[in-house]
Amino acid sequence: MLCFARMKAKRVLIIAGIILLVLIVVLVAAPLLIDVDRFRPAIEARLQTALGRPVEIGHLQFSLLSGGVLAQAITIGDDPSFSRSPFLRAETLAVGVAIGPLIRSRELNIHSITIERPQVNLIRATNGRWNFSTLGASRSSGSRADLKNDLQADPKFDPNADPKDDPPAESTAQPNEFSIGRLSITGGTIMLSRQGGGAQQTLNDVSLDAQNIVPGATIPLTIEAKTPGGGRLKLEGTAGPLDPSGSIEQMTVHLKFDAQKLPAQDLEGTLKVLGYNVPSGSKFQGGTINTSLTSEGPFDRIVTAGQVSVTDVRLTGFDLASKLGPLMTLSRLSPSTETRIQSMSGRVRQSVEGLRIDDLVMVVPPLGTMSGAGTVGPDNRLNFRMTAKLSAKVAAGPLGALAKMVGAQQGAGGGIPFLIQGTTSNPQFVPELGGVGKQAAGKIPTAPGQNPGDILGGLMRRKP
């Protein structure tokens, strides 16, 4: 009995070894027997039709272990009205395919695409359009059937294969529609820039996951990235339905953007890419940003709105006090090489008409607290109506006396109303004193040698 058991165990081991050997042979031989690189021209042609852009794919190799096809590289061209450089360039493209049809009939049924370590160039034109908005715009009605016809040109194609053996399509797309179950990006880099140069922002470690990319369907998507200052941001929601013509520009999006404790200097690059300049010669230093935004509407008319707050940021190279003109003399503040913003918050709304900020509150030591609302036009023109509530230190001096007189006449509650005009590069602060200026001469204490009439006269003559 013992001898029989040993022989049986030995037979099992031999059978298992043979099976393992066969599997190894299949794994090694499959890439050699299935020349998927023959399909490359057809895949390139289908992608070019779907994207409306030139597409180049590197050598294709079949991998049974990964259950798909690997390409050494992929390059997607840009809209020539934006750039002659590639829109996307990646080291590796992994294409998930149905293995059965590929082995039996050399038919390539794609169900997923993963792009590894791509570099994507997103460019914003002066009119607010992005280069990605024209993807698919010139697309003709490509078809899955056309792709199959192209692949059947392969001499190894078996015309006698039973089509009933093919797995049923999971998509709800019609036979003449381009569709894909899942599109993924891993380890990507996005270069954000403004057409014409001068503004650039880089996002690293970018990942994207989009599913059910089918004409007529809503596409769930999630994007995550790392900002230049080391912060992380996340964008998630839906896009679609995708227009049958393939144009992204008319596709409606419903997205939510959340970012907590982002380094404030990341805001500067983003503002410049969006077409908004910071005061000439200034830069953001230190501080953090918290924001919760939603983006709604078609890509060409998208509206982004929500709450933004900034804490402990310094605007180096910009002295707010000096912008107050004669008011600086009354404030008794010393000139500075920077402006510290202890906190700033507001409700923002960005659209093609420009940027609107409501419930804006800024705490700027040692001056005080400024609040109000206004707009920044697409041409960077400023139009804000604000009120300055002075700090205890400043309120104890001549400017505080003036604030009380303005409050008594205009009901400003002890604050000084003013306008912010000019441009984002050169903002102008214009006090609105009404008739208080002339009445205040002689009633406001000033330093020895200062003429209150001259100071207040300067305020009355000040123009934006």
3-state secondary structure the chain: CHHHHHHHHHHHHHHHHHHHHHHHHHHHHHHHHCCHHHHHHHHHHHHHHHHCCCEEECCEEEECCCCEEEECCEEECCCCCCCCCCCEEECEEEEEECHHHHHHHCCCCEEEEEEECCEEEEEECCCCCEHHHHCCCCCCCCCHHHHHHHHCCCCCCCCCCCHHHCCCCCCCCCCCCCCEEEEEEEEEEEEEEECCCCCEEEEEEEEEEEEEECECCCEEEEEEEECCCCCEEEEEEEECCECCCCCCCCCEEEEEEEEEEEECHHHHHHHHHCCCCCCCCCEEECCEEEEEEEEEEEHHHCEEEEEEEEEEEEEECCCHHHHCCHHHHHHCCCCCCEEEEEEEEEEEEEECCEEEEEEEEEEECCCEEEEEEEEECCCCEEEEEEEEEECHHHHCCHHHHHHHHHHHHHCCCCCEEEEEEEECCCEEEEECCCCHHHHHCCCCCCCCCCCHHHHHHHHHHCCC
Do 102 and 237 have their domain in common?
yes
Alpha carbon distance 82, 372 (integer Å): 38
Q: Which of 121, 139, 44, 137 is nearest to 84 (CA)?
A: 121
pLDDT at 235 (0 to 100): 93
Examine the pLDDT at 414 and tell me if it is beyond 70. no
Q: Is 224 found in the same domain as 77? A: yes
Residue 232 lies in a domain: yes
Q: Is the peptide bond before 244 cis (omega within 30 degrees of 0)?
A: no
Same domain flag for 196 and 325: no
pLDDT at 372: 96
Same domain, 239 and 374: no
Enumerate the β-bridge partners of residue 114. Answer: 94, 184
Q: Do 330 and 218 have their domain in common?
A: no
pLDDT of 461 > 60? The answer is no
Q: In the listed set 245, 261, 283, which residue is the last one of a domain according to the structure?
A: 245
Q: Which two tokens stand for residue 443?
A: 């009633």
Last residue of a domain, one of 201, 217, 245: 245
In the beta sheet, which residues pair with residue 351? 354
Cβ atoms 360, 373 nearer than 8 A: yes
When pLDDT is cut at 50, 70 and 90, the band that residue 438 belongs to is low
CA distance 148 to 417: 71
Same domain for 326 and 203: no
C-beta atoms surrounding 173 within 10 Å:
18
Average pLDDT over residues 339-347: 95
In terms of domains, do 79 and 210 share one? Answer: yes
Is residue 37 domain-resident? yes
Q: 173, 179 in Cβ contact below 8 A?
A: yes
What are the structure tokens assigned to 394, written together? 């400043």
Residue count of the chain:
464
- Single residue among 224, 245, 266 that ends a domain in this structure: 245
pLDDT band at residue 16 using 50, 70 and 90 as cut-offs: low
Q: Over the stretch 83-134, which tens digit does the pLDDT of each residue have?
A: 999 999 998 888 876 666 555 555 566 778 889 999 999 998 888 888 988 8
Q: What pLDDT was estimated at residue 439?
A: 53
Q: What is the mean pLDDT of residues 396-420?
A: 71
**Same-domain check for residues 205 and 325:** no
423 or 417, higher pLDDT:
423
Cα separation, 370 vs 360, whole angstroms:
8
Q: How far apart are CA 77 and CA 70, in angstroms?
A: 20
Q: Are residues 236 and 372 located together in one domain of the fold?
A: no
Closest by alpha carbon to 427, among 277, 325, 279, 271?
279
Token pair 């441009």 is at which residue?
A: 423
The pTM (predicted TM-score) of the whole model is 0.75
* Domain annotation covers residue 401: yes
Q: Are residues 85 and 214 in the same domain?
A: yes
As a whole number, mean pLDDT of residues 145-154 equals 43
Q: How many domains does the chain have?
A: 2
Which is higher by pLDDT, 146 or 17?
17
Block residue for tokens 């700027």: 364
Q: Which residues of 65-96 are buried (b: 16+ CB within 10 A; e: fewer)?
A: eeebbbbeebbbbbbeebeeebbbbbebbbbb
In a domain, 438, yes or no: yes
For residues 433 and 296, the model is more confident at: 296
For 98, the domain range is: 32-154+178-245
161: confidence class by pLDDT, cuts 50, 70, 90: very low
State whether 187 and 332 are in the same domain: no
Question: For the segment 51-60, what is each residue's pLDDT rounded down to a tens digit?
Answer: 889 999 998 8
pLDDT digits (tens, 9 = 90+) for 215-244: 788 899 999 999 988 888 999 999 888 766
Residue 65 lies in a domain: yes
Is omega for the bond preceding 445 within 30 degrees of 0, making it cis? no
